[in-house]
Amino acid sequence: MNRLLPLLITILSLFHFATTGPQDDKRKPAEVRILNAETMEAPYRGMDAGGIRLLGDVRLMHEEVQMHCDSAHRYSARNIVHAFGNVHINQGDTLHLYGDRLIYYGDRRFAEVRGNVVLQDQETTLKTQRLDFDLERNFGYYPDHGVVTSGDNKLESRRGYYYADDKLFFFRENVVITNPDYIIRSDTLRYNTETEVVYFLGPTTILGDDTDIYCENGWYNTITDISQFNENARVRNNNQSLSADSIYYDNAKGYGKAFLNVEITDTVENIIISGHYAWFNRDPEEMLITDRALLKQMTDNDTLYVHADTLRSWLQAAPPEPEPVEERLILQEEPPPDPEEEGPVPQLMEEPADLTEEAPGPQLMGEPADTTENDTVLQEPGKEPETILAPFPGAESDTLPAPDTVLIAIPPVLQDAAVKPHPDSVETDEENDTVRVLVAYYGVRMFSNQMQGKCDSLYYNMRDSVIYMFADPVLWSDESQLSAEIMEIHLKEDEVDYIVMTNSAFIVSEEQPGLYNQIKGTNVVGFFNDGELYRVNVTGNAETLYYPADEEEIIGINKAMSASLVIFLKDNKPDRIRFLNRVESVLYPMEDLQGEERLLPNFRWLDQIRPKNRDDVFRR
């Protein structure tokens, strides 16, 4: 009897389908058919009168949907099935749904699965305790915590939606994706199980071993390792961070781009670089930023702003450790001058002063008393002159270069090989021995409270803390304007230590409106203390023009020439001058020099292009 019962159930089900006919199928949905059961019983207490109880290896069929369970109640009048124990639903052999209990609505092709629910397709497994699945639309929903496993990715959320035909999961509330390389936390997230692409649709963070990413919109391809982060996007890595409206990154190639409101922050160097477009490379480490590019470097007492059309930074191999260099400036011997070839001695404007005695103030100079060395002291009457400082770093305070020698700055291209950097300013990668370089080019303008400047291109080597300025560079410090063909700003502990000016060097300061103190030479080195220019070394065709004063009243115009000289300044005005050789100096009455006669050759006063504040660096 038990052997005949399954066959009888199958025959009755087929007979029922045959008698309804195809026209009946159009009028109402197909009924759930019974394919197999070991035992079929009449309804027991609590069941509907039209119900059938099926026990043992129950198999049911509704159109292309197959169901299997330990036991079931079928209600043919309502076309509903209640299934219990080891429930398994299979549709098209591509989607499998498991659970402890099932309510299946045949008219709607809708399944409510409860208890240890598992949903599987070819790429994904979902586990939850409650799942509603619409087999008509191949759409599922879990309302209370689910876990999805796909490849190496484990996805959890409080609520989730699954579209089987599109291979898409939507996750809502407390979404967490765990991968061996990262953890993603999000409010709303979409995941394609076929392409393994994650879409971020709300506030999202991605935490890696050394990376912290945040965005509010974007996507990540877990296979190609390519991502795009939008809306308040931010990437943090060790001591650096990148933020922008949109960030694209190919992790496999180590290459990325950032668009609009880009900001790169280095907390070690206290540097922020901003603009509207950037690209960056991981190995070798390199970055470029443009479109209102701005570098901002913070120090304890000041902030430096540098703007250019393009800012670029990279790591490069550090040069070999140089042989110890005793001085940052070296001495180069120059043949002594031939007295017969010296130019004519200028006419005396008054009787020459006795240079054997210390003068109380500026002197009128005709033929110099000593052509190898002369010191003009500008001081208050009756005050002893200050100790003469060393003319170059490292020299003893009472030492001057020998006569007929010229101070020559080491050429910029030799700085890395010849200049020993300040130990506290070196930024290198100890393992790979690399050095960070920053380049700014096209229309460079910079501003800080201590110093302002402009040039066409700029090179900053962070190993030796030297900023090189090229193509018509100009610097302003307090009341002084400095210019040359090439300029080097040497920093020490984030402060200007000294500036090397190479070829056609010129320093100007305004004594009074229209009256300018001027220093000119082939090469000039200016030394700073607390941001103030206090000493200037001039080598090669040195010329000066300044307005000496007695009790704040200008007494004339002093013009002097020498092969080399050292000027000491006080309050940005010449205080003492040391002529090293071949001196020609004349103090003219004010009325004797007018117009361009008060200006040294190639004089320029460029205060109109001087950046006045941090926003002014963007002015063209």
The reply to whether 13 falls in a domain is: yes
Beta bridge partners of 436: 315
Checking if the pLDDT of 310 tops 90, the result is yes
Terminal CA-CA length for the chain: 101
CA 437, 438, 440, 444 dihedral sign is negative
Q: What is the pLDDT of residues 476-503, one digit of tens each?
A: 988 889 999 999 999 888 788 999 999 9
So what's the pLDDT on residue 332? 35
Cα–Cα distances in Å, from 506 out to 476, 531, 568, 603? 12, 19, 16, 8
Checking if the pLDDT of 60 tops 60, the result is yes
What contacts 552, CB < 8 A, 6 or more positions away?
A: none
User: How far apart, in whole angstroms, are the C-alpha atoms of residue 228 and residue 221?
Assistant: 9
The reply to whether 543 falls in a domain is: yes
**Cis link prior to 344 (omega < 30° from 0)?**
no
Cα–Cα distances in Å, from 358 out to 281, 375, 381, 386? 64, 10, 10, 12
Higher pLDDT, 341 or 438: 438
Q: What are phi and psi of 272, to 5 degrees?
A: -125, 125
What average pLDDT does this structure show over 285-303?
Answer: 89
So what's the pLDDT on residue 46? 67
User: Domain containing 76 — which CATH number?
Assistant: 2.60.450.10
So what's the pLDDT on residue 164? 83
So what's the pLDDT on residue 50? 73
Mean pLDDT of the chain: 77
Residue type, 593: L
What average pLDDT does this structure show over 42-46?
Answer: 72
Checking if the pLDDT of 374 tops 80, the result is no
The reply to whether 46 falls in a domain is: yes
So what's the pLDDT on residue 334? 36
Closest CA to 420 of 317, 319, 555, 532: 319
Checking if the pLDDT of 184 tops 80, the result is yes
So what's the pLDDT on residue 348? 27
The reply to whether 126 falls in a domain is: no
The 3-state DSSP class for residue 13 equals helix
Domain final residue, candidates 121, 145, 164: 121
Checking if the pLDDT of 392 tops 90, the result is no
* pTM for this model (two decimals): 0.69
So what's the pLDDT on residue 487? 94
So what's the pLDDT on residue 110? 93
The reply to whether 12 falls in a domain is: yes
Q: What is the pLDDT of residues 581-606, one digit of tens each?
A: 778 889 999 999 999 999 999 999 99
Bridge pairing between strands 557-570 and 532-546: antiparallel
Domain final residue, candidates 90, 121, 152: 121
Containing structural domain, residue 354: 329-436+491-618
Checking if the pLDDT of 573 tops 90, the result is no
So what's the pLDDT on residue 171? 92
The reply to whether 583 falls in a domain is: yes
User: How far apart, in whole angstroms, are the C-alpha atoms of residue 256 and residue 262?
Assistant: 13
Beta bridge partners of 467: 460, 489
Q: To the nearest whole percent, how much of the chain has pLDDT over 90?
A: 43
What average pLDDT does this structure show over 377-387?
Answer: 33
What average pLDDT does this structure show over 415-442?
Answer: 56
Checking if the pLDDT of 528 tops 60, the result is yes
Half-sphere exposure of 317 (CA within 13 A, CB side): 2
State the total domains in the chain: 2
Angle among Cα 523, 507, 547 to the nearest 5 degrees reads 125
The reply to whether 556 falls in a domain is: yes
What average pLDDT does this structure show over 189-216?
Answer: 89
- Per-residue b/e over 333-367, b at no fewer than 16 CB within 10 Å? eeeeeeeeeeeeeeeeeeeeeebeeebeebbbbbe
Closest CA to 116 of 106, 107, 126, 103: 126
Q: Which residue has the tokens 């001495």?
A: 331
Higher pLDDT, 332 or 297: 297
So what's the pLDDT on residue 15? 34
**pLDDT band, very low/low/confident/very high, at 428 (cuts 50, 70, 90):** very low
The reply to whether 312 falls in a domain is: no
Domain final residue, candidates 121, 151, 175: 121
Q: Which DSSP string do the residues of 495-541 spell out, in sequence order?
A: EEEEEEEEEEEEEEEEEETTEEEEEEEEEEEEEEETTEEEEEEEEEE
Q: Which DSSP string do the residues of 187-198 spell out, in sequence order?
A: EEEEEETTTTEE
Strand runs (DSSP E) across 370-412, as ranges?
Answer: 374-377, 405-409
So what's the pLDDT on residue 49? 67
So what's the pLDDT on residue 28? 66
Q: What is the pLDDT of residues 114-149, one digit of tens each?
A: 999 998 887 789 999 999 999 888 889 999 899 989
Q: What is the pLDDT of residues 7-26, one digit of tens each?
A: 333 333 433 433 344 444 44
Closest CA to 332 of 412, 393, 419, 407: 407
The 3-state DSSP class for residue 107 equals coil
**Cis link prior to 360 (omega < 30° from 0)?**
no
Residue type, 422: H
Bridge pairing between strands 452-461 and 474-477: antiparallel
Q: What are phi and psi of 32, to 5 degrees?
A: -75, 125
